[in-house]
Each structure stands twice: as structure tokens, then as C-alpha cells.
A and B are shown apart, each in its own frame.
Chain A
Amino acid sequence: MPKIFMPLVINNPQPSQRIVIDPLTRIEGHLRLEAQVENGQVAEAWSAAMMFRGLEIILKGRDPRDAWVFTQRICGV
């Protein structure tokens, strides 16, 4: 397990528990991770993007030559 997650490890593991990491840092965007842990093993996991701007909606009806300028702003990294 990468060191960065160490503080999130729960000291007294329960047979069944939910771990939530929100925000997940050092990425571009806002990510939330959830994991269902059964007897020390991840049984199921979910990720969710927590930010929405609606660029697909904003692009509709615009001059196609401008599309790159808009879509470039999806991610500036």
C-alpha cells in the first residue's frame, strides 16, 4: 500500500467496514473513493467524480472552430 494512504488505515479493523477517501488529492479534479472492506479484504469499491461543469451542454450550437478552445479546458494539466 502506498505510504500516502497509511493514515487512513483503520487501527481496529472490523469484520465489515466502509472506507471513504474524499478528496483524493494529487490528481486533477475532485475524486471520491469508497471501499467496502470484509475481513481485511476490499470486497467492492466505487469511485465518483465530484465535479461537473456540463461542457457537452455548453458546446452545443457553437462555432465548430471554437470547439478545441472549450475542450482544452476539460483538463489543464
Chain B
Amino acid sequence: MRTPFAEKLEQRGVSRRDFLKFCGLMAATLGLPAGSGRALAQSLEAAVRPPIVWLEFQDCTADSESFLREPTLINLLFDSLSLDYHETLMAPSGAQAEKSRLDTIRDYAGQYICVVEGSIPTADGGVYAMIGGRTALSIAQETCSNALATIAVGNCAWDGGIAAAAPNPTGAKGVGGALPGLSPLINLPGCPMNVVNLTATIVYFLANGQWPERDSLGRPRFAYGEEIHEECPRHHHYEAERFVLAWGDQGHRNGWCLFRMGCKGPRTRHNCWQVKWNGGTNWPIGAGHGCIGCAAPNFWDNLSPFYTALTDD
């Protein structure tokens, strides 16, 4: 029998098969045992679907772009989650835009998910990001404190990201730094965040009624549990000391290890080797460029210069 959810998906051009494939990808990303996809599909069909308020502060919109690059995931997300406020996507402007945000906060108090993209400037009274005449900090306070949960997407919303790189002219902070004590707060670092991980985080919540287990830095263990270096398909070259020494040399053509070219895989925990980008097409190391460590804490300062080899691993 076709459920109303399945019918809705079909109207959006997502077949039952696509949906089950999606659930399989989610189960694999979440590290669930083989064959959990179907159970996940059942709980997703029955789940209550919270609205999303998506706040952008000191950002470049790449996390939104990452989100929009995955048509199947988007179809499923828009079906299962209503995006009530997103500055780059919503139709209303000006006071009408503010009204959408405030209406959601009021009508769905404690029931909506707040996604934050971009850092929050705290220097000089917060003047470096103003929306509708209000500081990013005051908007974040109001929106996050009334949410069911806050998901910080991208490095900027996690640790201040690029705006917080030395000398941090605007006093930029991540959500956790700007709003101490905010809970639950789920951090999905990466520059940008990977939409598969955002989707899997929300799917986990819809299916289980709780947020995935997180490490001491607030990152879900399913996505940030492993070091890229350990899982890297080039790791056997590293072990055998077969290194790329110049762009385009024979080692580079052979797909050898990028450590000497500055790869920061040994300092970075992320599952991009597994979920990849652009619908699972490829990822930086797969394309022959070292990892810049974009999901690591304060990588703009801690892991640059990006083309200088780490002195130890």
C-alpha cells in the first residue's frame, strides 16, 4: 500500500526505489548495520517533520550551496522539513522576511530546527553583521534559544572559521562560542559542510527522536570519528613512502601520497573519503590535491600554510 508520504515523494519525482536508496545511504553514513535501510524508511515515513529556520551570518553561502547541490536529498528534505526562513532562498524580503522568522519562532516554539551558517561577530557591539537593523548575535540568541535544536553547519558556525582567522578583525565566533551553554548544539564542521552529514543528522533525529552521539567538540561521531589519513585510499603509498614530490610528477600521476605536498589528512577527522562530494563523485585527495584540513579546529591558522608539509604526523 502506498503511504501518503510515498505519494508526496512521487509527486516530486522521487520513486520508492530512490527513497530506499536514500535510506541505504543514510544507514551507511550513520554506520548502522547492513539491512537497516528499510527500518529507517519506515520510521521516516511516520516521523513528524519540524520546520527549519536557516540563519546566515558571516558566511559565503557555500553551506547552502552544498545543501542545494544534492537534488534527491533536497527533494526528501523539502518534503520532510519545511524551510521557513532562509535568506538566500525565501521569497519575502525586508520586514516580511523578519516576520517569517518571528512567526516560526512563535508558532513552533521549541519545535523547529535552527541551522546556522557563518560566524557571529562580537567586536564593536556586533556591527559587522546586521540583518533588519539587528545584530547577528541578538538574532542568534532569539532564534537558537527557542529552537528544538541548533545545527551549526560549516567551520564558521563551529569555531568562527575564516573570519576568526588571525587577527580576527571582527571578533568572529562560532555558535558555541557566541552562545555559551546552548543545548542541544550539533556541530557539522567542514568548509563547506557536507550535505550528506546534515541530512544524516536530521534523519537520525527523525527516526530516533534524539540527536546522534557527539564528541567533546560537539561533532557527530558517525561523521568525525575517523582521521582522513587512516582511511585514505593513498595510505598504503604513505606506508611505503611513495610520495608525490612535485605537481604533475610521476608519483602524482600514479596517485601516490600527498603528504609532502602539504596534505593535512593526518590532522583532520571527517568522513569525506566515504561520502565524497557532488553526489558521491569525488573528493579533494581523490582529485589529486592534498587535504587542507577544512573540518579541523581553526584550520585557517593551525594548518596553514597549506602547501607546506606537516613536520610530524
Partner-B contacts on A (CB < 8 A): 4-5, 7-8, 20-30, 32, 50-55, 57-58, 62-63, 65-66, 69-70, 73-77
Contacts and interface: CB of A to CB of B under 8 A. Distances in A.
B302 to A, nearest CB: 13
A50 B88 contact: no
Nearest to B99: A7
A52 B124 CA distance: 12
A76 B192 contact: yes
A54 B91 contact: no
A11 B57 CA distance: 32
> Is the contact region of chain B dominated by helix, strand, or loop, or is it mixed?
loop
> Is the contact region of chain A dominated by helix, strand, or loop, or is it mixed?
mixed
B277 interface: no
Contacts, number: 125
B88 A52 contact: no
Contacts of A30: 56, 87, 129-131
Given A63-B304, A70-B162, A4 B93 contact: yes
B4 interface: no
Given A50-B130, A76-B65, A24 B60 contact: no
Contacts of A73: 60, 62, 162, 191
B74 interface: no
Nearest to A20: B94
